[in-house]
Amino acid sequence: MSPFELGPGVKTGLKINYRNPAEVGADRIANAVAAVEQFPGKNLIIIDFGTATTFDVITKDKVYQGGTILPGLQISMEALEQKAAKLPPVEIVKRDKAVGRSTIGSIQSGLYFGQMGMVKELIKGITQESFPEEEPVVVATGGFPNLYRNDNLFHMIVP
């Protein structure tokens, strides 16, 4: 059996409301198709915590509205390490306090709470823009959503 290749022109059941639908990455379409299948009839925000942290916005009528792309946690840490003269690489971990008491702790707090702040603000903004009448289901996936498992950011984490 040949592998299935998701790409432009493949019928997914979604209407892609993007200026150029071919620009939407296959990973983002795959997330949208899976979420629509798992949560039929729901407005959705899908957050993928990968290399980039991406947000995908899908209406309950299966219309892919677009989304947001920002640097992921790992890229953010690597940028600090590579571009700042004296900042070391750190393990990306959940922090209990926003104020770090060491360089490593400060970087970890900045990464953890900074990403959380961006995620909260984007969920709020997307909801106000796209779903003012009905709260969307927020689904997280990717490599880092478990850091935020107990922070009430999403309704569900799907590996």
User: In this structure, are residues 72 and 147 in contact, taking their beta carbons and an 8 Å threshold?
Assistant: no
Whether this prediction's pTM lies above 0.85 is answered by yes
**9 part of a folded domain:** no
**7 part of a folded domain:** no
CA angle 71, 76, 82 (to 5 degrees): 130
**10 part of a folded domain:** no
**6 part of a folded domain:** no
- Among residues 27, 56, 61, 151, the one annotated as catalytic is 27
Domain enclosing residue 83, as ranges:
15-157
**150 part of a folded domain:** yes
Q: Give the residue among 146, 130, 9 at the shortest CA–CA distance from 63.
A: 130
CATH number of the domain residue 123 falls in: 3.30.420.40
Residue 5: what pLDDT? 63
| Count of domains forming the chain | 1
User: Can 27 be counted among the known catalytic residues?
Assistant: yes
pLDDT tens digit at each of 159 positions of the chain: 766 566 566 666 889 888 888 888 889 999 999 999 999 999 999 999 999 999 999 999 999 999 999 999 999 999 999 999 899 999 999 999 999 999 999 999 999 999 999 999 999 999 999 999 999 999 999 999 999 999 999 999 998
Residue 132: what pLDDT? 96
**132 part of a folded domain:** yes
**102 part of a folded domain:** yes
**20 part of a folded domain:** yes
